[in-house]
């Protein structure tokens, strides 16, 4: 526990600093697709206009989020080219550049989210009502964010109040007894800016395969409460507090060898952060933040025939983080950033050896942005992590941007990433009574690592057309995978984690968007992905070689009418291999097109109605997918 005490000492030292506005504060955005003056922070941990950042960064604005009619972040991201949302019984995970959820860092206002199940942070836990924008950095980002950012970062930025006082209530009803209700209250007066959101949604369990009683998708009831408050201490300083509470109850059914099991789940997740800073003259700033989060997951499996508990488990994960960051201008051409982080993590669970484990990570990071000309910039950075289980690891990164003309910009980067094995990889000891399998951790695992490069070109044609091309390559070492080592005591397979392979992913993403012409606009995107295990030559499973998206929209601002048609495509992908390291046709999951249609109409100044249909052509194959089939919805939004 000495590391724990050292962490708290660091926190108190940080909080002694008094107040400039925090670097991760949300910035009001213009919603024009071609407006490149939005301010982003994820790529460099410093505020930069999107058009000036040397790191390839994608932004999903609030207007785009609202146009999707999405209930949560997972439903927003699945409409972006090169992003695959993997939806299964463990929730909505995300895949970037062919790398799974284990390698993608999910942030909320710059702070890490915990509670991974099967490697996933369930994106359905993050509601959209208080979200200002989503920033996406693809490729190794360990140089700034450490472990878990080996494949990229998704940073969800919450919004500030924009009105002296406003309140909004939205309620949507959808097929499968799905109800989604949201309330937002905002206050922006004098020195105080506060925004409070409440969201509740529910859905019944869904069974797409009636040959047994096992439900394909569990039913749920979710409650999300979030608050964001800013107080202006002085004309140059702001104190910021943000917090979120998420609660979920799940229910589902499993059937195995004639025995019926009821599955019950109860999740609670609280997170909160407070920060302050100090302006050192006109060229330097020192910022401090403290963040804490607790994730509690209680799961119970009951034998319906005997009413006896077949298994139960309570998992509690705590994370405490303190961070200090110093930014300063060195002359007119260099911007230096240095910082330190202290992270303490603790996990309690009957499913890990010993019942409780803790990990501490001490980190130093730096970067220097050198801008010899207004149209040319380079960023050199690195991060030194000391992990209590794996010692010291250094992750460097180099990025560059060259604006060839006002309409053509080139960006490129190379970085090294790493991922330290997590609690699950090291210490898991879990048996599934409804399926019979067993999974064991391995305390001898070594960290995974990668070398990643990205190259992107962005082109604007006469302010009417925006095109992007993005190429990438990931070389991966010491990948952690499961291998079958025998039979479990329940009669199923026994698996254990090992460092077993090297692999690569590479690909290209292309996107073309038009500005609104007569109210009509369109976006089309295509992604090509190759991924292979270098030792076996086997194509990496669960990855489509071809994917794409299409959006056609019409907006009549005068009439307050909008209609939006979206389609997304994924080619067939490897579902399993029978052991010969060759994928035959029967080992692939089929390709699919999913189409959604949404329309909205401003009826009165304070009343807006929306209707839509998801999965228009009723695509569903429960063997491979958890698509729920065609569903209809409608809703009303009241604003005061």
Position 123 pLDDT exceeds 70: yes
Is 284 a domain residue? yes
pLDDT band for 82, please (50, 70, 90 cuts): very high
Tokens of 502: 């090297």
Query: CA 353, CA 370: separation in Å to the nearest integer?
Result: 48
601-622 mean pLDDT? 93
Q: What is the 3-state secondary structure (H, E, C) of 197-220?
A: EEEEEEECCECCCCCCCCCCECEE
| Residues 278-323: tens digit of each pLDDT | 888 888 998 999 999 999 999 999 999 999 998 899 999 999 999 9
| Residue 388 domain-assigned (yes or no) | yes
Share of the chain above pLDDT 90, in %: 62
Confidence band (pLDDT; 50, 70, 90) for 36? Answer: low
For 210-218, which contacts have Cβ atoms below 8 Å and span 24 or more sequence positions? Answer: 212/255, 213/253, 213/255, 213/260, 214/253, 214/254, 214/255, 215/252, 215/253, 215/254, 216/622, 216/626, 217/89, 217/252, 217/626, 217/628, 218/89, 218/250, 218/251, 218/252, 218/263, 218/265
Report yes or no on 321 lying in a domain.
yes
- If you count DSSP H runs as helices and E runs as strands, how many of each does the chain have, helices first? 5, 35
Q: What is the pLDDT of residue 92?
A: 84
**430 within a domain of the structure (yes/no):** yes
| Neighbouring C-beta atoms of residue 629, cutoff 10 Å | 15
pLDDT at 302: 94
What pLDDT is stored for residue 624 in this prediction?
A: 86
| Per-residue model confidence as pLDDT tens digits over 179-208 | 999 999 999 998 999 999 999 999 999 888
- Mean pLDDT for the stretch of residues 604-622: 93
Mean pLDDT of the chain: 88
| 456 within 8 A of 463, measured Cβ to Cβ | no
**pLDDT for residue 416:** 92
Low-confidence winner among 22-36, 51-65, 149-163 (lowest mean pLDDT): 22-36
Inter-CA distances, 630 with 36, 354, 459, 621, 635, Å:
37, 46, 37, 13, 17
Q: Kindly state the average pLDDT of the residues 152-168.
A: 93
Confidence of residue 35 (pLDDT cuts 50, 70, 90): low
Name the least confident of 21-25, 92-96, 269-273, 399-403: 21-25
Mean per-residue pLDDT for 552-561? 92
44 confidence band (pLDDT: 50, 70, 90) = confident
Q: What is the mean pLDDT of residues 146-163?
A: 91
pLDDT band, residue 1 (cuts 50/70/90):
very low
**Residue 185 falls inside a structural domain:** yes
Q: Cα–chain-centroid distance for residue 331?
A: 37
Scan for tokens 């009439």, then name that residue.
559
> What band does 451 get if pLDDT is binned at 50, 70 and 90?
very high
Dig out the tokens for 191 from the structure.
């020195």
Instruction: Report the number of distinct structural domains present in the chain.
Output: 1
598-605 long-range Cβ contacts below 8 angstroms, 24+ apart: 598/67, 598/68, 598/69, 598/563, 598/564, 598/566, 599/561, 599/562, 599/563, 599/564, 600/69, 600/561, 600/562, 600/563, 601/559, 601/560, 601/561, 601/562, 602/559, 602/560, 602/561, 603/560
The reply to whether 501 falls in a domain is yes
pLDDT, tens only, 221-253: 999 999 999 998 887 888 999 999 999 999 999
* Banded model confidence at residue 4, pLDDT cuts 50, 70, 90: very low
Q: Is residue 142 part of a domain?
A: no
Tell whether the model's pLDDT for residue 61 goes beyond 80: yes
Query: What is the rounded average pLDDT of the residues 363-371?
Result: 96
Does some domain include residue 468? Answer: yes
Q: What is the average per-residue pLDDT within 123-148?
A: 89
Question: Residue 27, class by beta-carbon neighbours within 10 Å (0-12 exposed, 13-18 middle, 19+ buried)?
Answer: middle
- What residue numbers bound the domain in which 449 lies? 161-639
pLDDT at residue 34, as a whole number: 52
The Cβ-side half-sphere exposure at 441, using a 13 Å CA radius, reads 18
| CB count in 10 Å sphere of residue 572 | 16
The least confident of 38-52, 259-273, 360-374 is: 38-52
| CATH code for position 627 | 2.40.170.20
């Amino acid at each position: 526990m000495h590391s724990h005490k050292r962490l708290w000492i660091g926190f108190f030292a940080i909080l002694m600093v008094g107040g400039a506005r925090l670097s991760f504060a949300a910035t009001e955005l213009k919603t024009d697709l071609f407006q490149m003056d939005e301010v982003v922070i994820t790529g460099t941990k410093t505020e930069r206009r999107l058009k000036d950042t040397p790191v390839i960064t994608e932004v999903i604005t609030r207007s785009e989020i609202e146009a999707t009619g999405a209930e949560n972040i997972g439903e927003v991201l699945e409409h972006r080219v090169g992003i695959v949302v993997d939806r299964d019984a463990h929730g909505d995970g995300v895949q970037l550049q062919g790398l799974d959820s284990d390698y993608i860092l999910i942030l909320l206002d710059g702070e890490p989210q915990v509670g991974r199940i099967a490697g996933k942070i369930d994106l359905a836990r993050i509601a959209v009502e208080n979200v200002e924008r989503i920033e996406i950095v693809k490729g190794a980002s360990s140089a700034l964010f450490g472990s878990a950012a080996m494949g990229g970062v998704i940073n969800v930025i919450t919004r500030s109040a924009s009105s002296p006082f406003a309140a909004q209530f939205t309620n949507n009803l959808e097929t499968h007894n799905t109800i989604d209700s949201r309330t937002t209250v905002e206050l922006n007066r004098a020195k105080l800016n506060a925004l409070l959101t409440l969201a509740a949604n529910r859905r019944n369990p869904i069974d797409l395969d009636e040959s047994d009683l096992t439900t394909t998708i569990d039913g749920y009831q979710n409650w999300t409460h979030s608050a964001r408050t800013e107080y202006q201490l002085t004309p140059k300083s702001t104190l910021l507090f943000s917090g979120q509470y998420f609660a979920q109850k799940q229910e589902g059914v499993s059937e195995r060898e004639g025995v019926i099991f009821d599955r019950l789940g109860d999740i609670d997740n609280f997170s909160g952060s407070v920060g302050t800073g100090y302006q050192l003259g006109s060229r330097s700033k020192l910022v401090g933040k403290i963040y804490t989060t607790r994730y509690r997951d209680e799961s119970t499996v009951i034998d319906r025939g005997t009413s006896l508990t077949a298994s139960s488990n309570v998992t509690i994960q705590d994370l405490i983080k303190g961070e200090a960051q110093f930014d300063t201008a060195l002359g007119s051409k260099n911007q230096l950033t240095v910082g330190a982080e202290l992270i303490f993590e603790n996990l309690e669970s009957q499913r890990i050896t010993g019942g409780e484990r803790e990990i501490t990570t001490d980190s130093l990071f730096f970067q220097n942005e050198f801008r010899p000309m207004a149209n040319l910039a380079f960023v050199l950075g690195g991060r030194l992590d000391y992990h209590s289980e794996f010692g010291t690891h250094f992750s460097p990164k180099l990025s560059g941007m060259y604006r060839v003309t006002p309409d053509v910009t080139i960006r490129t980067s190379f970085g090294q990433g790493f991922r330290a094995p997590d609690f699950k990889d090291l210490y898991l000891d879990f048996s599934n009574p409804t399926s019979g399998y067993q999974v064991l951790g391995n305390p001898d695992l070594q960290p995974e690592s990668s070398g990643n490069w990205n190259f992107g070109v962005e082109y604007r044609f006469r302010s009417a057309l925006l095109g992007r091309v993005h190429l990438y390559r990931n070389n991966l070492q010491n990948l952690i995978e499961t291998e079958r080592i025998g039979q479990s005591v329940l009669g199923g397979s026994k698996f254990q984690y090992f460092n077993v392979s090297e692999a690569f992913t590479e690909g290209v993403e292309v996107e073309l968007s038009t500005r609104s012409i007569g109210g009509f606009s369109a976006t089309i995107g295509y992604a090509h992905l190759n991924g292979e295990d270098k030792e076996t030559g086997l194509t990496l499973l669960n990855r489509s070689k071809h994917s794409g998206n299409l959006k056609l929209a019409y907006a009549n601002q005068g009439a307050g009418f909008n209609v939006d048609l979206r389609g997304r495509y994924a080619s067939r992908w490897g579902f399993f291999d029978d052991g010969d390291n060759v994928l035959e046709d029967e080992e692939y999951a089929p390709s699919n097109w999913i189409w959604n249609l949404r329309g909205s109409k401003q009826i009165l100044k304070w009343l807006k109605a929306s209707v839509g249909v998801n999965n228009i052509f009723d695509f569903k194959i429960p063997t491979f997918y958890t698509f729920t089939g065609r569903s209809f919805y409608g809703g009303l939004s009241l604003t005061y």
